[in-house]
Amino acid sequence: MKKVTFITVFAALCAFLAAGSIQASELDRFIGMKGKIDIAGGTAHIPVMNDAGKNIMKFNPDIRITVAGGGSGVGVQKVGEGLVDIGNTGRAVSEAEKSKYGLVSFPFAIDGVAVVVNPKNQVKELATEQIQKIFSGQVVNWKDVGGADAPIHLFTRDEASGTREVFWEKLLNKGDVAQSANIVASNGAMKVAVAGDPHAIGYLGIGHISKDVKAIVIDKVEPLQENAKSGVYRVTRNLYMNTKGQPTQLQQAFIDYILGPDGAEICKKYGYIPISE
């Protein structure tokens, strides 16, 4: 009886220690490290980077992590010029950018880009051709695409945006965007703009969709991450972390954390598909 009790207790203790080890293992890579990581670039990345940074700094107060936006172009420029340690992009860096700055890229998640309207808008579905005509300025009234008799208010991103580049290439087929379009600075700003204007139309990363905006079905396909993952929904992009040259030990530890199980859960929390899946 004593032998059985000892074995049971020992097994329970091993299980408890193993559980504790598993829970802490993803952050163990930061034990004994000191330093600062400055991150800037694509705005779609911000929630993931913020959560990861908070977890790491709580585990090891000797590490400081700052996160800023600015768009993919800003991420490339700042990391390339040594102004930040990691530059985030919502697109692959070009060969010219890679050659100029010596960038090394680390894809970590897949995101789709969705067309969004105000929840009060009765339009639920559009064809690719209709979207192209709306954004080029050929269609200017919602009644022409099944909506109310009201002017269409266009919202777009600036040319530094990776979200814009993917939308422009894969949905607009590199077509024109009307000069009258309102330019906003981030996915968050896009959501605020569309949510506050009943006649608005814009686009943002699927991970940013909430009850504040309505995602449009395109060519009978819903803009869902599972459809993006399967390839059925084609307006997709990878999210990247980029460093100037090979990352330092601390930078690599951060990148590995994002690419690991903890990072995958953070990505899924914000509606992205981890590259590891």
CA nearest 185: which of 76, 41, 38?
41
Given a contact cutoff of 8 angstroms between Cβ atoms, the answer to whether 50 and 85 are in contact is no
For residue 160, pLDDT over 90 is answered with no
262 vs 43 pLDDT, higher one: 262
pLDDT in tens, 163-180: 999 999 999 999 999 999
pLDDT reported for residue 195: 98
* Stretch 208-233: mean pLDDT: 94
Is the backbone of residue 96 left (phi > 0), alpha (psi -120 to 50) or beta?
alpha
In the chain, the number of structural domains is 2
Three-state secondary structure string covering 128-167: HHHHHHHHHCCCCEHHHHCCCCCECEEEEECCCCHHHHHH
Amino acid at 253: A
pLDDT reported for residue 24: 53
Lowest mean pLDDT among 167-171, 218-222, 270-274: 270-274
Instruction: Say which residues have a Cβ less than 8 Å from residue 172's Cβ, sequence separation at least 6.
Output: 131, 132, 135, 136
Q: Are strands 217-218 and 153-157 parallel, antiparallel or unpaired?
A: unpaired
Lowest mean pLDDT among 9-18, 191-200, 217-226, 262-271: 9-18
168 vs 13 pLDDT, higher one: 168
The answer to whether residues 73 and 126 belong to one domain is: no
The answer to whether residues 90 and 135 belong to one domain is: no
* Stretch 137-149: mean pLDDT: 98
- Specify the length of the chain in residues: 277
The answer to whether residues 102 and 138 belong to one domain is: no
Q: What is the CATH number of the domain that holds 69?
A: 3.40.190.10
The answer to whether residues 43 and 148 belong to one domain is: no
The answer to whether residues 84 and 138 belong to one domain is: no
* Stretch 121-146: mean pLDDT: 98
The answer to whether residues 98 and 201 belong to one domain is: no
As a whole-number percent, the residues of the chain with pLDDT over 90 amount to 80
The answer to whether residues 123 and 219 belong to one domain is: yes
pLDDT in tens, 84-114: 999 999 999 999 999 999 999 999 999 899 9
The answer to whether residues 148 and 218 belong to one domain is: yes
The answer to whether residues 124 and 163 belong to one domain is: yes
Q: Are strands 236-244 and 86-89 parallel, antiparallel or unpaired?
A: antiparallel
Rounded alpha-carbon distances, angstroms, from residue 79 to 5, 42, 86, 109, 256: 59, 12, 6, 20, 18
Give the range of the structural domain holding residue 200, as residue numbers without chain letter. 112-236
The answer to whether residues 14 and 71 belong to one domain is: yes
Amino acid at 23: Q
- Measured at the alpha carbon of residue 274, what is the angle toward residues 215 and 124, in degrees to the nearest 5? 10
The answer to whether residues 138 and 227 belong to one domain is: yes
pLDDT in tens, 195-208: 999 999 999 999 88
1 vs 112 pLDDT, higher one: 112
pLDDT reported for residue 4: 44
Q: Tell me the pLDDT of the chain averaged across its residues.
A: 91
pLDDT in tens, 18-65: 444 434 589 999 999 999 999 999 988 999 999 999 999 999 999 999
pLDDT in tens, 233-249: 999 989 999 999 999 99
* Stretch 75-83: mean pLDDT: 97
Burial of 143-167, coded b for 16+ CB within 10 Å and e otherwise, reads eebebeeeebbbbbbeebbbbbbbb
The answer to whether residues 131 and 230 belong to one domain is: yes
